[in-house]
């Protein structure tokens, strides 16, 4: 199975880390985000990874190489200019157009989402072009429960998951038909996903009790390390 990872991000909010390495190479728990992803993909049966590189691509080449030292086959596509999430996937069309399906993901997340669930939903639905993973919206703040009549505080809940709301986890499973919907430049969320949803060709799979964290800020690194320990991965 093949997976495409978008690893060309600048990661401006993670400076000074990203002055010397692209965002997916920022260390979390002593290991670059990208290596956490490769290990997760291997556990899920992926044996070939395509890295869509851009900013400081030489650093990615230097760390990953052919992938042999990590027990996985690696190929590369290069963005000469930022193409967005849609254009970044489109740029890898030549390497993925003949696959029955493939996975794609953002290069700034650490997760343990079971990919087989996404694959099964796609393959069981011939009319579906793509399947998105969704996770509950994590509150950036702690919340307070109180009695509305008396005003008495009941309890404090530290940064809960808001399970009435779901967010895009940035992990996808696609048929090659996705390339017909992708822009040469632009974000998949604003282009292909909108069109596919209108046509009824996009499905979602929810994951409530799975490790997932996007790394956008320095605070996210600390929070992710806490989660990794909670899931006995660190």
Split into its structural domains, the chain has a count of 1
C-alpha torsion 119→120→125→131, nearest 10: -40
Residue pair 83/180 in contact (Cβ under 8 Å)? The answer is: no
Supply the residues annotated as catalytic: 159
Which residue do the tokens 């509150």 mark? Answer: 139
CA atoms of 115 and 164, how far apart (whole Å): 23
Contacts 24+ apart (CB under 8 A), 41-46: 41/3, 41/72, 41/103, 41/115, 42/70, 42/71, 42/72, 44/114, 44/115, 44/116, 45/1, 45/115, 45/116, 46/1, 46/2, 46/3, 46/72, 46/103, 46/115
Whether pTM > 0.85 for this model: the answer is yes
Mean pLDDT of 119-129: 94
User: Which range marks the domain in which residue 23 is found?
Assistant: 2-133+167-230
Given CA atoms 114, 116, 120, 126 in this order, what sign does their dihedral have? positive
Q: Is residue 159 part of a domain?
A: no
pLDDT at 110 > cutoff 90: yes
- DSSP SS3 for 155: strand
Q: pLDDT value at position 113? A: 95
Q: Is residue 215 part of a domain?
A: yes
| Cis peptide bond prior to 149, omega within 30° of 0 | no
Q: Is residue 84 part of a domain?
A: yes
Q: Is residue 161 part of a domain?
A: no
Q: Is residue 185 part of a domain?
A: yes
**pLDDT tens-digit readout, 148-200:** 777 778 777 877 777 778 999 999 999 999 999 999 999 999 999 999 999 99
CATH of the domain at 23: 3.90.550.10
Q: Is residue 156 part of a domain?
A: no
CA atoms of 135 and 213, how far apart (whole Å): 10
CA atoms of 50 and 102, how far apart (whole Å): 10
Q: Is residue 145 part of a domain?
A: no
- DSSP SS3 for 135: strand
């Amino acid at each position: 199975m093949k997976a495409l990872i978008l690893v060309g991000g600048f990661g401006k909010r993670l400076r000074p880390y990203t002055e010397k390495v692209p965002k997916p190479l920022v260390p979390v728990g002593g290991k670059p985000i990208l290596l956490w992803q490769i290990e997760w993909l291997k556990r899920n049966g992926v044996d070939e990874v395509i890295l869509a590189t851009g900013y400081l691509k030489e650093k990615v080449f230097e760390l990953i190489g052919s992938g042999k030292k990590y027990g996985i086959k690696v190929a590369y596509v290069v963005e000469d200019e930022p193409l967005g999430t849609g254009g970044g996937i489109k740029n890898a069309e030549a390497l993925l157009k003949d696959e029955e399906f493939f996975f794609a993901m953002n290069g700034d997340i650490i997760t343990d989402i079971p990919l087989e669930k996404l694959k099964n939903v796609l393959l069981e639905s011939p009319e579906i072009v793509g399947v998105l993973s969704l996770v509950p919206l994590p509150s950036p703040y702690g919340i307070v429960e109180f009695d509305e009549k008396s005003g008495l505080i009941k309890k404090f809940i530290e940064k809960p998951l808001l399970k009435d709301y779901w967010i895009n986890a940035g992990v996808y499973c696609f048929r090659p038909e996705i390339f017909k919907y992708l822009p040469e430049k632009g974000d998949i969320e604003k282009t292909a996903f909108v069109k596919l949803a209108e046509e009824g060709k996009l499905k979602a799979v929810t994951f409530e009790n799975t490790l997932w964290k996007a790394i956008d800020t320095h605070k996210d690194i600390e929070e992710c390390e806490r989660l990794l320990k909670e899931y006995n991965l660190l």
